[in-house]
Structures are given as C-alpha cells and as structure tokens.
Structure 1
Amino acid sequence: MKLTTITQLTLDGVTQGNGGPTADDREGGFERGGWARGAGDDTTRDHIAATFQRADAFLFGRRTYDILLEFWGTIEDLKRHPIGVALNSRPKYVASRTLMEPEWASTAVFGDDLFAAVTELKASGDGELQVHGSSRLIQWLLEKDLVDEMELIIVPVVLGQGARLFADSGRDIAMNLVDSRSDSKGVMIQTYRPAGRPNYATF
C-alpha cells in the first residue's frame, strides 16, 4: 500500500489546533486554535472530502484518532458526510501503547513494534494508507523512510506558536514536487514525494 500523509498547516508549519481552540491542547494554554475554520473555498473542501474517500485504510496517532472519533464517529449528521462515511467504513489503525479496547468499529491498534506493523501493512497489497493529522507520527514515519507521498494543505496564516509538522532536529529529506494548486482564498495544496537526501553545496 502507498502510505500518504495529509496535513493542514500554517505558513510557519504549525499543525496544532487547526479545527478549534480546544481541538488539540497538548501544550496547555494554546489559544490560537481554529485557524483552519473557514479557510479554503469549495474546491478545497471538495478535494479534502475526495481525499478521504479514496483511502483504502487510515493510520492515526492516538490524539488524532480520539479527535476524529469524537466528531466523525459519534455525531450522526457527520457520520453521513462523505468524510464520515469513509472513516466509518474503512479499516483504521492506531499507533498507541495505551489504547487497549478501541471504541470505533474496524479499528486495530499497533502497539510495541510499530515499524514491523506498518511495514507489513504497506506490503500487504495495493491501495492507499492515509495518515491525517498525527504530526508526531508523521515525523517518526519520515525518520523510518515509510512515507511515499506527502500532501500539505497550507493555510495562509502565521501563528507564531504551536506544535509543528517538522521537528527542530530530524532527518534531512529531499522532496520532489508532483502537484501544486491554490484556491481563491489562498490555500495551497502541494504534493511531494521523498527523494533521498538533499544535495548540499560545497566550496
């Protein structure tokens, strides 16, 4: 399976709290959440819905899994939305050492040997395994060379604080741009494929 990450982030790389002020308060006292609400036009919203619909399975970090379950897995109106239909009907995998009995149907937990579990899943056949949100999990997947494609949905705002997609210190990766578009509200959607290590200039 192709492993694709899909991430909403700001111009300064923040992923925290995109949906609302309390959607992701991991750092405590984060007051700049909700920056993605109302961002993007209908073409971007349609694109995001279509992205969920094309997935064959989903992989989440524990925090993202809990947030998505609270909305798309429990609210009846949202269950009928195209995103809700996709999330409720496809297999879901969670990277967690603490989740023992997941409430959401069709959910399996990847515990101690996450690398072996993801590698086996990627080798299991065709299709697309999508990772939404889950920035810490994405950092780990990049370190382990498990990401095949990255889609960045960049909202034109600078927050100046919050957890970011790319760690301050981590693996260096060259990226090939394979698709780029922007909507009428300035939201950019860029798709990249990892391409080994960057080339560094020498003098």
Structure 2
Amino acid sequence: MKLTTITQITLDGVTQGNGGPTVEDRNAGFERGGWARGAGDDATRDHIAETFERADAFLFGRRTYDILHDFWGTIEDLKRHPIGVALNARPKYVASSTLTEPEWSNTEVLGDDLFAAVTELKASADGELQVHGSSRLIQWLLEKDLVDEMELIIVPVVLGQGARLFADSGRDIAMNLIESRSDSKGVMIQTYRPAGRPHYAQF
C-alpha cells in the first residue's frame, strides 16, 4: 500500500489543536485550538471527505485515534457522514504501547516493532494506507523513509505557538510538488512526494 499522510497545518507549521483545544492542550499552555474550524470552502470540505473515502486502511498515533474515535466512532449522526462511514468500515491500525483493548471495531494495535509492522502493512496489499493528524508519528515515518506521499492542507493563519509537523532537528528531505490548488478562502492543498536528500549549494 502507498502510505499517504494528510495534515491540516498553519502557515507557521503548527498542527496542534486544529479542531479545538483539548484539556491536555490547555494543561500544556496551548490556548489557540480550533484554528481549522470553518476554514476552507465547500470544495475543500468535499475533497477532505473524498480523501477519507479513497483510503483502504488508516494508521494513527494513539492520541489522534482517540480523538477520531470519540468524534466519528460514537456519535450516530457522524457515523453516517462519508468520513464516519469510511473510518468505521476500513481497517484501522494504531501505533501505541499503551492501548491494549481498542473499543473501535476493525482496529489493530501494532506491536513493539513498529518499523516491521508498517513495512509489512505497506507490502501486504495494493491501495492506500492513510495517516491523518498524528504529527509525531509522521515525524517518525519520515525518519524511517516510510512516507510515499504527503498532502498538506494549509490554513492561512499564523499561531505563534503549538506543536509543529516537522521536528526542529530531523532528517532533511527534498520534496517534489505533485499537485497544488487553493480555494476561495485561501486554503491551499499541496501534495508532495519525498525525493531523497536536498542538494546544498557549495560556495
């Protein structure tokens, strides 16, 4: 399977609290959650739903998994939304050392050897394995060269605080831009594929 990451992100690279601040966020001093609520026009919202619908399976970090389960896996009206239908029907894999008995159906917790588990998943079938949210997991996947494609949904706001998608110190990666579009509200959707290491100028 092709491993694709889909991330809502601010202009300054923040991914934290896109839907709204959680208690955990507030306890950590992050008070600017909810920056992606209402962002994007109907075409962008339709695109996001279609993205979930085309997935063959999902891979999440523990925190993103819990948030999505509480939202799309328990509220009856949302279960009938196209995103909810996709999330409830497709296999879900969770990278977690603490989750032992997942409540959400079609969920498998990956073992201690995450690299082997994800590599096996990618080789097991055709189709698309999607990672939504899960910025720390994405950082790890990038370090291990497991990401095939990245979609960034860039909301035109600068937060000035919050956890960011790309680590302060991490692997350097060149990216090829595959597709780019913007909507009537200034939200940009850009799709990239990793292309090895960047080339650095020598003076």
> TM-score with structure 1 length normalisation?
0.98
Instruction: Number of aligned residue pairs: give it.
Output: 203
Matched, 1:154 2:134: no
Give the CA deviation at 1:124.
0.6
2:193 match: secondary structure: strand
Q: 1:23 to 1:17 in 2, by over 3 A?
A: farther
Within a 5 Å distance, the mapping from 1:160-171 to structure 2 comes to: 160-171=160-171
Within a 5 Å distance, the mapping from 1:108-127 to structure 2 comes to: 108-127=108-127
Q: Specify every segment of 5 or more residues in structure 2 that has no aligned partner in the other structure, as ranges.
A: none
User: Which residue matches 1:39?
Assistant: 39
Q: Any idea what the Cα deviations from partners look like across 1:29-83, whole Å, max 9, x if unmatched?
A: 2110000000000000000000000000000000000000000000000000000
Matched, 1:202 2:202: yes
Structure 1 runs of 4+ with >6 Å offset: none
User: Which residue matches 1:82?
Assistant: 82
Q: Any idea what the Cα deviations from partners look like across 1:135-160, whole Å, max 9, x if unmatched?
A: 00000000000000000000000000
User: Which residue matches 1:101?
Assistant: 101
1:58 match: secondary structure: strand
Q: 1:69 to 1:181 in 2, by over 3 A?
A: same
2:199 match: secondary structure: coil
User: Which residue matches 2:139?
Assistant: 139
Give the AA of the match of 2:198: P
Matched, 1:59 2:66: no
Instruction: Report the more deviating stretch, 19-28 or 43-52.
Output: 19-28
For 1:8 and 1:167, the matched residues in 2 are separated by 16
User: Which residue matches 2:29?
Assistant: 29
**Identical-pair percentage:** 89
1:25 match: secondary structure: helix
For 1:99 and 1:163, the matched residues in 2 are separated by 23
Q: What is the CA RMSD across the aligned residues, in angstroms?
A: 1.1
For 2:109 and 2:35, the matched residues in 1 are separated by 30
Q: 1:69 to 1:23 in 2, by over 3 A?
A: farther
1:14 match: secondary structure: coil
Give the AA of the match of 2:94: V
For 2:23 and 2:9, the matched residues in 1 are separated by 14
For 1:57 and 1:105, the matched residues in 2 are separated by 13
Give the AA of the match of 1:54: R
For 2:151 and 2:159, the matched residues in 1 are separated by 20
Q: Any idea what the Cα deviations from partners look like across 1:162-192, whole Å, max 9, x if unmatched?
A: 0000000000000000000000000000000
Matched, 1:174 2:168: no
User: Which residue matches 1:6?
Assistant: 6
